[in-house]
A = this chain, B = another copy of it.
Amino acid sequence: ALGLAGTATAAELKPEEQIQYRQAGYAFMAWNMGKIKANLDGNYSQPQVQAAAETIRAIANSGMGALYGPGTDQNIGDVKTRVKPSMFTEREEVGRLAMNFINAANELAEVAALGDEAEVKSAFGAVGKSCKACHDQFRAD
């Protein structure tokens, strides 16, 4: 739990704040992925899926790369991180996976707005794969 006032500039963020904010972004996307999955598995509510997809798209496009600053490659006191050191050195591969993810999230939001459940299912699968591709390489278990 963060005790932040939300007034610090990005440049002023401490490493432990950056870690908590990036975890918050991923966690909130996971909640929204879970909602979309529940809709695909059960009763499909187009407005709920659209809102969830919009949230994932917005977070994907929010510039989370800024939350991987110096000093955020290791645990800081109680603030634990699961990032692998390679995330800070393999910049090209990170950029490729991040771009795949952003493109997939944009596509999901577009089809979610149109409401065809089969297309949403396919676009949702692509987003899930793009999350997993990054975790497989850059997140410790």
Contacts and interface: CB of A to CB of B under 8 A. Distances in A.
Interface of A: 1-2, 4-11, 13, 20-21, 23-25, 27-35, 37-38, 41-42, 48, 51-52, 54-55, 57-59, 61-63, 67, 80, 82, 131
Please state the number of chain copies in the assembly.
2
Contacts of A23: 1-2, 24
21 contacts: A2-B23, A2-B27, A4-B27, A4-B34, A6-B30, A8-B34, A9-B35, A13-B34, A20-B27, A21-B27, A21-B31, A24-B25, A28-B28, A28-B59, A31-B67, A51-B58, A51-B61, A51-B62, A51-B63, A55-B62, A58-B59
A63 B42 contact: no
